[in-house]
Every structure is written in C-alpha cells, then in structure tokens.
Amino acid sequence: MKRRILTALVMAAVLVPLLFLPSLAFSGALLVVLLIASAELFALLRNAYQIPKAAFLYPAGAGGVLYGSWVAFHQQWLDPSILFVTIGIVLLIGLLLITSVRGFHFGAFGEVFAGSLYLSLAFAALSFIHMQGLLVLVYLLLLTLLTDTFAYFSGLAFGRRKLAPAISPKKTIEGAVGGTLIAVTAASAFGFLLGMDLSSSPVVFLAIGVVVSVAAQLGDLVASAIKRFYQVKDFSRLFPGHGGVLDRFDSTLLAALVLTLILVGGGV
C-alpha cells in the first residue's frame, strides 16, 4: 500500500504540471505517453504471436503518424482528405508486413492496427479536450478518477450483483451505479461553480457526465478483458503497484474519446 501511495504521489507531481503546458507542448508530451502505451500493447501481442521485436516499429510509427494527423486535423492544419490518405497508407504498410514478417499474420496485424488506431484516436481526443481549456480537461480527469474511486468503495459497501464476472469478478452493479452518481454529482458541481459551458442546459450537462462516467467504466472493463485474454495481471510494471500506462489510463482514454465525440457533435 505504501508503495502504491508513493508511486501515486510521484505520478501526480510529474503529471499535474503537464496540464498547464501550451497546447502543442501538451500534445508532444502525450505523444511520448502514446508510444509507451503502444509498447505495452505490442508486448502482449509479441509474446502471443512470437512477433520479432523490430516489428514494434510498425505500431509505434502507425500510432505516432495517426496521432499527429488527428492533432493536425484538430488544429485545422490538415485537410480531411489527407487524413484518410494517411490512414490508408498505414493500413497498406501493415498488409505488406503480413507477407514479410514472421508471426505477423492477418490476425496479429488486425490487433496491432486496431490498437494503434484506438490509441491514436484516444490520445488525440485528450489533446483536443486540452485545446478546449484546462477546466474541461480537469473535469474529465475528475470525472474518471471519482468514478473509479467511488465505484470501488460503493461496491465494498453495497455490492451484491456482479457487473461482469467473467471479466472483472470484483466489480458490482451497485458499485458502478454508486461510482457514477457520486462522480457526476461532484464533477458537475465543479463545472457549474467554475462556469464551464459544455451545455446551456443543466440536465444535458448532467447527462454528459453520466455518459462519460459510463464510458470510463467501460474502458476499464475493456482493458480488463484484454489482460484476461492474454493472461497478464498488468500491461507493464512501469508504475510500481499501479501497472503501466494502459492500466492507469484505461478509463480516461475511452472517456476522453466519448467526450470528444460529444463536443465535436455540437448537439449540446
């Protein structure tokens, strides 16, 4: 427990200052984290399919190029047609690797490409949210952190019915509901008090919080399903007592992607 707390304090000391960086510097920092996350995901696939280590150049390059393209698109530096061409080129390179890299068969390629596409989108979503203002990013982080924390404590106190026993046996429906209710209440109060304008309607604002909180829990379950499938406890040991980047940010990544879709949709 002491190690977990110490690691959490060190992580906070490193990560919190990053939130105050200018948009492009923040996007650059996210690129580094994206590459680490890509390495964690590739390590699972490499062990499962006996793919050579050098093949990591593909998911690293694909993730970096796609992420950069999404960010450039958000900044209105890149035409949408160029973005689609970039995705197509990354896809074609992967298909060529199937014929030349041992172990990199179609199934492995599909998992690597899907993982690279998801991670690049999710991290680009974090970059986009940062561009909307620090308050919006803090709102997202607060919402995901409180959802995770109070889902755990609500589950301990009231948990009876299993949420997804085949994936994460300790999670309960009561915990999930309690985590969402408390997190949405606290994060929405934060937003209202500081004048966030995600929506002119308080009801819609609360609804956004519920959707993002549910997405955070889904992201956690998806990460748990991946680890269970590959029979590992954590994605890596980067953070002692906490696992790796994907263990710490599994909830945040999907929540960021969903919040970005809501903001871009403009229907709020």
CB burial of residue 122 (10 Å; 0-12, 13-18, 19+)? buried
pLDDT, one tens digit for every residue, the chain (268 residues): 667 677 778 888 888 899 999 999 999 999 999 999 999 999 988 888 888 887 888 889 999 999 999 998 888 888 888 888 998 999 899 888 888 887 777 888 888 889 999 999 999 999 999 999 999 999 999 999 999 999 999 999 998 999 999 999 889 999 999 999 999 999 999 988 888 877 768 888 899 999 999 999 999 999 999 999 999 999 998 888 778 999 999 999 999 999 999 998 864 4
Tell me, what's the pLDDT at 267?
Answer: 47
- Give CA 4 to chain center in angstroms: 21
CA torsion sign for 122, 128, 132, 137 is positive
Tell me, what's the pLDDT at 11?
Answer: 80
CA triple 42-33-113, angle to 5 deg:
35
pLDDT in tens, 216-235: 999 999 999 999 999 999 99
pLDDT in tens, 31-71: 999 999 999 999 988 888 888 887 888 889 999 999 999 99
CB burial of residue 48 (10 Å; 0-12, 13-18, 19+)? middle
Q: What percent of the chain has pLDDT over 90?
A: 59
pTM above 0.95, yes or no: no
3-state class of 171 per DSSP?
strand
CA triple 168-216-131, angle to 5 deg:
155
Among 67, 57, 10, CA closest to 34: 67
